[in-house]
């Protein structure tokens, strides 16, 4: 049984989210404080952008479009323009939704939702795919006439990874923008700060980037799949369920040195390994700035490791695989799907990699809602390839949509809550694990996964996308 609460930075998913691009250049070492400052973005802009009913149909990255959409600076931030990191993020996040909003045919009062999280900086680069998926969903749903005749409007806020700005934006959206619910609050560093306020105001939050343990500490939070410590378990249990029956039981772990969240992953994995049939034979620590990981690969090889489980950023994963190949060490590699990018499937050193995904595989079309995700991105967010991270935002949007179809009044927080609490054993056709919410009770911790393997230059689902649950 997983604990009900815990430090969000202690979860594996947060480790993977934050290290995903901590060292894009990887040219020098950085202290924990330097990395955290970088993760909070350059300039810390708290700009926000509006998409959907009433939003501009022009290029959302331009100053004119931002002004037409009602973009304003919060706490002294500038409105419009794209010079700041926050401005660039706002434009990128809006690009998938504003154009399609002009096709909205809903005649009722708008359904106003917010999405407040880290859109800029290093962290934003890793999780903003979900925001683009949410905005593509808004465009698609409005093109169909909205929900029950109500067009959907989403306002995206960039907190720069700062808890104070996150809380400020949440309050501003509720009290000034009249947001009735939040969908995909991608705030692994800052989301905890708004829990008390949202609980008091009884404003629901549906889905996130999966890093927050707080999604199980308030009845106003509705996770779309495993989150926080539940996802930590999924990451190791999923690959164990696939590899242990094949005789792959000896595991080496490799985690970064720079940040506390990597230290936590280094501690958590050995604790969980025996319960899923793994034996940790080697634990390595390394810098994200290292150009070579030969010594770490040799240590794992000499310990007899058959599996190498990493908490490293996207670029380091490739360098580790290359270093191990040079010393003729070819273990099964694994890392979080959050750091998975499309180019990995073409890296021969990553062939055979096994991943644990808490949703249906994002590249399959046999699940209707996954096929719709891929089609909607192609239509309303062209150029943005569907990803595992983006699927988190899509699943949050589809869970919200399901609640809205059941809501007594889809435009109010109270009505949306009624719709959410009516959800029982919902899987969205296989997109998410079986999900049930109960009135005024914290969401239950769900621990489910599908298995993804890189083979032959492709992402594959060797079990057909079968969902496993602990």
For the segment 166-188, what is each residue's pLDDT rounded down to a tens digit? Answer: 999 999 999 999 999 999 999 98
pLDDT-derived band at 124 (thresholds 50, 70, 90) equals: confident
Inter-residue contact 156 to 115 (CB < 8 Å): yes
- 3 within a domain of the structure (yes/no): no
pLDDT-derived band at 260 (thresholds 50, 70, 90) equals: very low
Q: Would the pLDDT of 242 be above 80?
A: yes
CATH of the domain at 91: 3.40.50.2300
Compute the distance between CA of residue 244 and CA of residue 265 in angstroms, rounded to an integer: 21
Coil, helix or strand at residue 311: strand
**Quick one: DSSP state of residue 14?**
H
Extract long-range pairs of 54-59: CB within 8 Å, 24+ residues apart.
54/101, 54/110, 54/153, 55/94, 55/97, 55/98, 55/101, 55/153, 56/98, 57/98, 57/99, 57/101, 57/102, 58/98, 59/91, 59/95, 59/98
Q: Would the pLDDT of 38 be above 60?
A: no
Range 191-207 average pLDDT: 97
Give Cα separations from 270 to 4, 238, 253, 277 (angstroms). 20, 15, 9, 11
Neighbours of 43 (CB within 10 A): 16
Terminal Cα distance for the chain, rounded: 10
Regarding pTM above 0.85, the answer is: no
- The more confidently predicted of residues 243 and 63 is 243
Range 289-314 average pLDDT: 93
Alpha-helix residue ranges (DSSP H) falling in 144-259: 163-175, 195-201, 229-243
- 203 within a domain of the structure (yes/no): yes
- 181 within a domain of the structure (yes/no): yes
Query: Which stretch of DSSP H or E encloses residue 301?
Result: helix 294-302
The distance from CA 103 to its chain's CA centroid, rounded to whole angstroms, is 28
Total domain count, the chain: 1
- 333 within a domain of the structure (yes/no): no
Compute the distance between CA of residue 232 and CA of residue 308 in angstroms, rounded to an integer: 16
**Quick one: DSSP state of residue 414?**
H
Predicted confidence at residue 122, as pLDDT, reads 66
Tens digit of each residue's pLDDT (9 = 90 or more) over 126-136:
788 999 999 99
Q: Which of 28-32, 208-212, 245-249, 431-435 has the lowest mean pLDDT?
A: 28-32
Q: Would the pLDDT of 296 be above 80?
A: yes
Range 87-115 average pLDDT: 54
Domain range for residue 187? Answer: 40-225+382-442
Compute the distance between CA of residue 221 and CA of residue 228 in angstroms, rounded to an integer: 13
Pick from 230-244, 307-321, 404-418 the range whose average pLDDT is largest: 404-418
Compute the distance between CA of residue 98 and CA of residue 359 in angstroms, rounded to an integer: 27
Q: What contacts 378, CB < 8 A, 6 or more positions away?
A: none
- 358 within a domain of the structure (yes/no): no
Tens digit of each residue's pLDDT (9 = 90 or more) over 109-122:
999 999 999 988 76
Q: What contacts 196, CB < 8 A, 6 or more positions away?
A: none
Query: Any idea what the Cα angle at residue 74 is, between residues 164 and 207, rounded to 5°?
Result: 60
The pair phi, psi for residue 51, each rounded to 5°, is -135, 140
- 330 within a domain of the structure (yes/no): no
Compute the distance between CA of residue 45 and CA of residue 406 in angstroms, rounded to an integer: 37
Coil, helix or strand at residue 393: helix
- 250 within a domain of the structure (yes/no): no
- 389 within a domain of the structure (yes/no): yes
Residue with tokens 């009845």: 219
Query: Which stretch of DSSP H or E encloses residue 256?
Result: strand 250-256
| Average model confidence (pLDDT) across the chain | 81
Share of the chain above pLDDT 90, in %: 61
Could you tell me which of 223, 224, 307, 321 has the C-alpha nearest to residue 269? 307
């Amino acid at each position: 049984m997983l604990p009900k609460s815990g430090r969000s930075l202690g979860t594996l998913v947060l480790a993977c989210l934050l290290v995903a691009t901590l060292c894009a250049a990887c040219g020098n070492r950085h202290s924990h404080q330097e990395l955290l400052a970088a993760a909070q973005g350059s300039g810390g802009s708290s700009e926000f952008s509006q998409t959907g009913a009433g939003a501009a149909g022009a290029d959302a990255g331009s100053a004119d479009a931002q002004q037409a959409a009602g973009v304003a600076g919060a706490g002294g931030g500038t409105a419009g323009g794209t010079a700041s990191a926050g401005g660039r993020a706002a434009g990128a996040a809006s690009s998938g939704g504003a154009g399609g909003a002009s096709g909205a045919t809903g005649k009722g009062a708008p359904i106003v939702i917010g999405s407040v999280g880290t859109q800029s900086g290093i962290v934003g680069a890793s999780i903003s795919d979900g925001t683009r998926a949410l905005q593509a969903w808004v465009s698609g749903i409005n093109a169909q006439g909205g929900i029950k005749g109500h067009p959907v409007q989403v306002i995206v806020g960039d907190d720069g990874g700062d808890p104070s700005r996150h809380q400020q934006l949440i309050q501003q959206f509720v009290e000034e923008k009249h947001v009735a619910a939040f969908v995909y609050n991608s705030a692994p560093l800052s989301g905890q700060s708004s829990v008390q306020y949202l609980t008091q105001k009884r404003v629901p939050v549906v889905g996130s980037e999966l890093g927050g343990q707080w999604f199980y500490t308030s009845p106003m939070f509705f996770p779309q799949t495993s989150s926080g410590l539940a996802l930590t378990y999924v990451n190791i249990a999923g690959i164990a369920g696939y590899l242990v029956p094949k005789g792959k039981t000896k595991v080496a772990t490799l985690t970064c040195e720079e940040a506390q969240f990597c230290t936590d992953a280094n501690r958590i994995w050995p604790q969980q390994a025996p319960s899923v049939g793994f034996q940790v034979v080697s634990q390595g620590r390394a810098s994200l700035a290292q150009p070579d990981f030969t010594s770490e690969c040799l240590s794992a090889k000499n310990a007899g490791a058959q599996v190498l489980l990493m908490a490293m950023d996207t670029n380091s994963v490739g360098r580790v695989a290359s270093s191990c190949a040079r010393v003729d060490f070819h273990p099964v590699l694994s890392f979080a799907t959050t750091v998975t990018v499309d180019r990995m499937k073409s890296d021969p050193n990553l062939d055979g990699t096994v991943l644990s995904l808490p949703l249906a595989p994002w590249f399959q079309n046999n699940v209707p809602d996954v096929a719709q995700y891929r089609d909607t991105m192609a239509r309303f967010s062209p150029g943005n390839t569907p990803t595992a991270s983006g699927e988190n935002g899509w699943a949050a949007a589809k869970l919200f949509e399901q609640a809205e179809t059941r809501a007594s009044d889809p435009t109010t927080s109270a009505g949306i809550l009624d719709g959410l609490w009516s959800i029982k054993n919902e899987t969205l056709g296989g997109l998410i694990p079986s999900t049930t919410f109960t009135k005024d009770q914290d969401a239950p911790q769900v621990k489910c996964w599908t298995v993804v393997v890189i083979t032959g230059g492709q992402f594959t689902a060797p079990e057909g996308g079968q969902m496993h649950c602990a």
